[in-house]
């Protein structure tokens, strides 16, 4: 992180969502929203231009979706953390986002405090999953056959 404040880029195809997250996060003294992207391709370009610490990434966007954008960002700039924010609580999205290099997965119904804390957690280099997702992930791992593959 640079200059003591966490630099955030918000990637979402819905303008109202981008603006809402910007307003919420900019109320935090240690978080600064440095830009907004309208889709995955725009997010990749803005990451190169703005060098944020954290990208809030929607999954379903036109042109290039959030999973592939996350993969490209984390491969090109592994120091940048991606926090996936979506309305879709589907295990397939969770697994794909994590495989693509996302540091966290949060649902858009999270509170403003949960969102700000999630940004801090992933900016610090830790991982974060929404509680319901964590429970299902643990259940899935415990279900898996213990034989090495």
Q: Could you tell me which residues come within 8 angstroms of residue 77 by beta carbon, excluding any fewer than 6 positions away?
A: 47, 51
pLDDT of residue 50: 97
Q: What is the pLDDT of residues 72-128, one digit of tens each?
A: 999 999 999 999 987 766 667 778 888 899 999 888 888 889 999 999 999 999 988
Structure tokens given for 22: 């910007």
Answer yes or no: are the C-beta atoms of 56 and 81 closer than 8 Å: no
Q: Judge contact between 112 and 24, C-beta under 8 A.
A: yes
Q: Give the integer Cα–Cα distance in Å for 119 and 138.
A: 23
Place of tokens 């889709």: 39
Cα dihedral 127, 40, 95, 72 sign: negative
Is the CATH code 3.30.465.10 the one for domain 6-143? no
* Mean pLDDT on 40-53: 97
Calculate the alpha carbon distances from 29 to 25, 110, 111, 120 in Å: 9, 20, 17, 12
pLDDT at 51: 96
Whole-number Cα distances in Å, 137 to 105, 140, 146? 12, 5, 15
For the chain, the structural domain boundaries read 6-143
Closest listed residue to residue 81, CA positions, set 104, 61, 62, 63: 104
Any alpha helices (H) in 27-111, and if so which ranges?
Answer: 40-50, 66-76, 91-99
Q: What is the pLDDT of residue 136?
A: 65
Least confident of 15-24, 36-45, 84-93, 125-134: 84-93
Q: Is the per-residue pLDDT at 148 higher than 50?
A: yes
What is the arithmetic mean of pLDDT over 58-80? Answer: 93
């Amino acid at each position: 992180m640079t200059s003591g404040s966490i630099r955030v880029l918000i990637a979402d195809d819905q303008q109202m969502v981008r603006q809402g997250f910007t307003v919420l996060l900019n109320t935090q003294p240690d978080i600064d929203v440095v830009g907004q992207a309208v889709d995955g391709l725009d997010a990749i370009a803005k990451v190169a231009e703005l060098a944020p610490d954290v990208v809030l990434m929607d999954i379903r966007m036109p042109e290039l979706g959030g999973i592939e954008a996350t993969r490209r960002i984390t491969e090109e700039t592994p120091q940048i953390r991606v926090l996936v924010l979506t309305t879709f609580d589907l295990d397939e999205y969770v697994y794909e986002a994590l495989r693509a290099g996302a540091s966290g997965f949060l649902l858009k119904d999270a509170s403003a405090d949960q969102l700000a804390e999630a940004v801090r957690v992933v900016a610090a280099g830790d991982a974060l999953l929404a509680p319901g997702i964590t429970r299902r992930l643990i259940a899935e791992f415990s279900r898996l056959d213990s034989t090495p593959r």
